[in-house]
């Protein structure tokens, strides 16, 4: 095992024993590694973004309506207003309308019904004008309220001064201003109320109110759906991510296996690097699953039990051992299946090349004229000389030991 790890490392840092890798080549390959790794993570991120998230399935407004039941007869027009005016109030170039058809399709059925009806309402011109007018009226009232409070504060100060001293000119003017503000506030409040009445009389709005009226049974169903979605999301996410990562891994695996088979040292070097690079995000995701998702999802009770005994360390020991076991298996698998030394030697033997340095040998050569490696060894059974790379003796056919 140790020998195989060393061989694997040698494959990452050298072309062959006789051809040490130029430093510049190694730097080039490492830059390539970093570049590919970066692209992999960006690609993974964008690929994952295509998945319907929790917030897309149950947008904040829908959560507030169907789960928290925050929308009441008193505040529902105020809560609906930003949604109806969302498209109008937006000033950003990169803006996603809450009524995007593609987005609505991803939602929970109840949220879908709400957003579809809200979309119809937002496109209703007269209703839109009512909401816009309400928005402006409320803004103005808030402004007037601030001015009123300021005028009233200064009036109160003057009143105290007037009590203490003799009357000063101008005190009445302040009181009149405050009075005017108070009247304006009343007028704006009345206007808001009348607008809300008109909005409430709209048949589409009444339909929307029936959609958002959820009793506890309906709420229970929505909560169950939402929890189920959250439960399965991490696994769905992992499968979706593997869908992106595994083909790339497969291609690099195939390429490195092929370059070893074809005995192409430079391609073997690059392909081995890329194979390692493609393995990293996969490993990372699987580790995430093991450490983060499995405990919280499937063994909740076991983990609560371990936690109550302060034995969570056991689980982390287990994760460490599991990671080592998986790592060993991976290296073993790669060494045995992909970079089988005997396969490489046989390939060279077939080409009439040196089993060690892969340079073409002169006919009948017993040792390599380039690296001095003996190409023949005594058979363990018949003691005749036979090629060291062969699987069987060329004289008696006895199985030869695998090369170290």
Nearer to Zn ion, 108 or 400 (CB): 400
For residues 166 to 205, the per-residue mask of contacts with Zn ion, x marking binding by CB under 5 A and - elsewhere, is ----------------------------------------
Minimum distance from residue 48 beta carbon to Zn ion (Å): 49
Minimum distance from residue 260 beta carbon to Zn ion (Å): 18
Nearer to Zn ion, 154 or 381 (CB): 381
Minimum distance from residue 246 beta carbon to Zn ion (Å): 39
Nearer to Zn ion, 11 or 348 (CB): 348
* Binding to Zn ion, residues 309-368 (CB under 5 A): 354, 356-357, 368
H, E, C per residue of the chain:
CHHHHHHHHHHHHEEECCEECCHHHHHHHHHHHHHHHHHHHHHHHHHHHCCCCHHHHCCHHHHHHHHCCCCCCCCHHHHHHHHHCHHHHCCCCCCCCCCCHHHHHCCCHHHHHHHHHHHHHHCCHHHHHHHHHHHHHHHHHHHHHHHHHHHHHHHHHHHHHHHHCCCCCCHHHHHHHHHHHHHHHHHHHHHHHHHHHHHHHCHHHHHHHHHHCCCHHHHHHHHHHHHHHHHHHHHHHHHHHHHHHHHHHHHHHHHHHHHHHCCCHHHHHHHHHHHHHHHHHHHHHHHHHHHHHHHHHCCHHHHHHHHHCCCHHHHHHHHHHHHHHHHHHHHHHHHHHHCCHHHHHHHHHHHCECCCCCCECCCCCCECCCCCCECEEECCCCCCEEECCCCECCCCCCECCCCC
- 182-187, long-range: CB < 8 A, 24+ apart: 182/148, 184/144, 185/141, 185/144, 185/145, 185/148
Nearer to Zn ion, 104 or 361 (CB): 361
Minimum distance from residue 17 beta carbon to Zn ion (Å): 10
Nearer to Zn ion, 220 or 352 (CB): 352
Binding-site size, Zn ion (CB under 5 A): 14
* Binding to Zn ion, residues 360-389 (CB under 5 A): 368, 370-371, 373, 379, 381-382
Nearer to Zn ion, 16 or 198 (CB): 16
Minimum distance from residue 398 beta carbon to Zn ion (Å): 5
Nearer to Zn ion, 80 or 357 (CB): 357
Nearer to Zn ion, 202 or 343 (CB): 343
For residues 27 to 66, the per-residue mask of contacts with Zn ion, x marking binding by CB under 5 A and - elsewhere, is ----------------------------------------
Residue 396 engages Zn ion in binding (rule: CB under 5 A): yes
Minimum distance from residue 354 beta carbon to Zn ion (Å): 3
Determine the distance from the C-alpha atom of residue 116 to the mean position of all C-alpha atoms in its chain, rounded to a whole number.
28
The neighbour count for residue 15, using CB atoms within 10 Å, is 17
Nearer to Zn ion, 257 or 357 (CB): 357
Minimum distance from residue 361 beta carbon to Zn ion (Å): 8
Minimum distance from residue 303 beta carbon to Zn ion (Å): 58
Contact window for Zn ion (CB under 5 A) among 64-72, 131-139, 278-286, 394-402: 394-402
Minimum distance from residue 12 beta carbon to Zn ion (Å): 22
Residues that bind Zn ion in the complex, under the rule CB under 5 A: 354, 356-357, 368, 370-371, 373, 379, 381-382, 393, 395-396, 398
């Amino acid at each position: 095992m140790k020998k195989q790890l060393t061989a694997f490392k040698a494959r990452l840092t050298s072309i062959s024993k006789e051809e040490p890798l130029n430093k510049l080549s190694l730097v080039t390959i490492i830059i390539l590694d970093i570049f590919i790794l970066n692209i992999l993570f960006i690609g993974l991120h964008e690929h994952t973004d295509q998945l319907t998230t929790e917030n897309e399935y149950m947008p904040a407004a829908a959560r507030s309506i169907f789960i928290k039941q925050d929308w009441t007869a008193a505040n529902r027009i105020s809560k609906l207003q930003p949604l109806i005016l969302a498209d109008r109030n937006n000033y950003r170039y990169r803006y996603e309308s809450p009524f995007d058809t593609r987005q609505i399709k991803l939602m929970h059925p109840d949220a879908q019904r709400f957003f579809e009806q809200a979309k119809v309402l937002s496109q209703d011109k007269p209703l839109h004008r009512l909401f816009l007018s309400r928005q402006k009226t409320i803004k103005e009232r808030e402004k007037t309220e601030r001015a009123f409070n300021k005028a009233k504060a200064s009036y109160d100060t003057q009143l105290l001064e007037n009590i203490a001293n003799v009357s000063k000119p101008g005190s009445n003017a302040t009181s009149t201003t405050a009075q005017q503000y108070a009247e304006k506030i009343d007028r704006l409040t009345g206007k808001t109320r009348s607008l809300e009445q008109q909005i409430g009389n709209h048949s589409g709005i009444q339909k929307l109110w029936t959609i958002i009226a959820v009793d506890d049974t309906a709420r229970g169903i929505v909560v169950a759906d939402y929890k189920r979605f959250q439960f399965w999301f991490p696994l769905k996410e992992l499968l979706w991510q593997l869908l992106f990562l595994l083909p790339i891994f497969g291609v690099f695996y195939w390429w490195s296996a092929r370059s070893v088979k074809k005995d192409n040292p430079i391609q073997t070097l690059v392909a081995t690097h890329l194979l390692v690079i493609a393995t990293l995000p996969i490993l990372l995701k699987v580790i995430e699953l093991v450490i983060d998702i499995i405990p919280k999802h499937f063994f909740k009770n076991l983990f609560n039990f371990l936690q109550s005994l302060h034995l969570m360390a056991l689980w982390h020991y287990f994760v460490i051992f599991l990671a080592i076991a998986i790592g060993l298996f991976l290296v073993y698998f790669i060494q045995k299946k992909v970079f089988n030394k005997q396969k490489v030697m046989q390939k060279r033997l077939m080409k009439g090349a040196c089993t060690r340095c892969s340079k073409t040998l002169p006919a009948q050569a017993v040792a390599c004229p380039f690296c001095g490696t003996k190409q023949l060894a005594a058979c363990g059974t018949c003691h005749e000389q036979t090629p060291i790379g062969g699987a069987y003796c060329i004289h008696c056919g006895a199985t030869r030991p695998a090369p170290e």
